[in-house]
Chains A and B, each alone.
Chain A
């Protein structure tokens, strides 16, 4: 039999091979949880923003309502936040899949769960006029990236 595992024991005894301390795992878990929360928040922000845009435009992005054709629809539709939000949902699906209560069930349940949470959050954001207030806040304070993001699209009006 190979003698490598004996080397492992020798390395443990000599202190060459060390255990990672517990606090590193605790810190890692906290950072991952924080990262997941941030990604979730960004996904909610993007999807709710798209919803808010569609509501503020009376859904006139859709050609049958606007009567201005498919080209106009393609041009006006907020593709970046839509794809950004969808991409984040997929990324979150892969990230959450490391938890046993998630991976033991088919992935579709997780995706539906994420979509349901985002839908509820989007509704709450809509009734609280969050985007409208946040847009005004970013124009009064220095938030260049978010202000630029809002500026690319119509300003949500409530």
Chain B
């Protein structure tokens, strides 16, 4: 069966991109339908203003379309698209000086051995709730991995691809981010 005759929900993102690369440009609408709500939600974690958020989403999809010929369909489209969205959000925050974004972080320099070994101890639902309520109090460097892991459902390697940081550093930031998140959450409960 040809890929373009498959039902929408069965076709992978990468198969759709492959067809767009072959000239079926109208299929970009399928990717818009799939990812517009997700990218809007993702951008909403950085930008409270709806207009700013919509501009970022718009720019993300425009850049994705313009550069779609550079996408390697052997890789994961969602990671590629979120990488563009990440860059757009970070550049916007830097430009508007809304948050402090360091140019370089030392935690990408050395290996970390504190990878999550006790995943089962982490109550995912509880973390998701905390992410919803206390995420805004965290630095971007901790907020983003938590968001990508718990809300967007990416794994360590995919987050590493989106943020372009070592896989070990993703684990370390998730561990520290969770600790900070719990602290902020408990503080908010006692206030």
Contact = CB atoms under 8 A, between A and B. Distances in A.
In the A-B complex, the 5 residue pairs with the closest CB atoms:
A25-B70, A22-B69, A4-B58, A103-B164, A2-B54
Nearest to B20: A19
A18 to B, nearest CB: 7
A1 B37 CA distance: 9
Contacts of B70: 20, 22, 25
Interface in A93-151: 97-98, 100, 103-108
Contact of B61 (A8, A18, A22, A108): A8
Nearest to B106: A107
Contact of A103 (B21, B68, B160): B160
Given A4-B58, A13-B26, A107 B166 contact: yes
Contact of B111 (A1, A20, A100, A108): A108
A9 B66 contact: no
B162 to A, nearest CB: 11
Given A5-B36, A8-B61, A17 B111 contact: no
13 contacts: A2-B40, A2-B57, A4-B58, A5-B32, A8-B61, A12-B25, A12-B65, A19-B67, A20-B66, A22-B21, A100-B161, A104-B167, A107-B166
Interface in B64-85: 65-70
Interface residues on B, range: 35 or more
B29 interface: yes
Contacts of A17: 62, 65-66
Contacts, number: 82
B38 interface: no
Interface of B: 20-21, 25-26, 28-29, 32, 36-37, 40, 54, 57-58, 61-62, 65-70, 108-112, 157, 160-161, 164-169
Contacts of B110: 106, 108
A19 B164 contact: no
A111 B25 CA distance: 42
B29 A19 contact: no
Contacts of B65: 8, 12, 17, 19
Contacts of B164: 97-98, 103
B184 to A, nearest CB: 28
A21 interface: yes
Given A13-B26, A19-B69, A21-B69, A106 B111 contact: yes
A103 B68 CA distance: 22
A19 B63 CA distance: 9
A25 to B, nearest CB: 4
A36 to B, nearest CB: 17
Contacts of B58: 4-5, 7-8
Contact of B67 (A1, A20, A107): A20
Contact of A12 (B28, B37, B165): B28
A25 B71 CA distance: 10
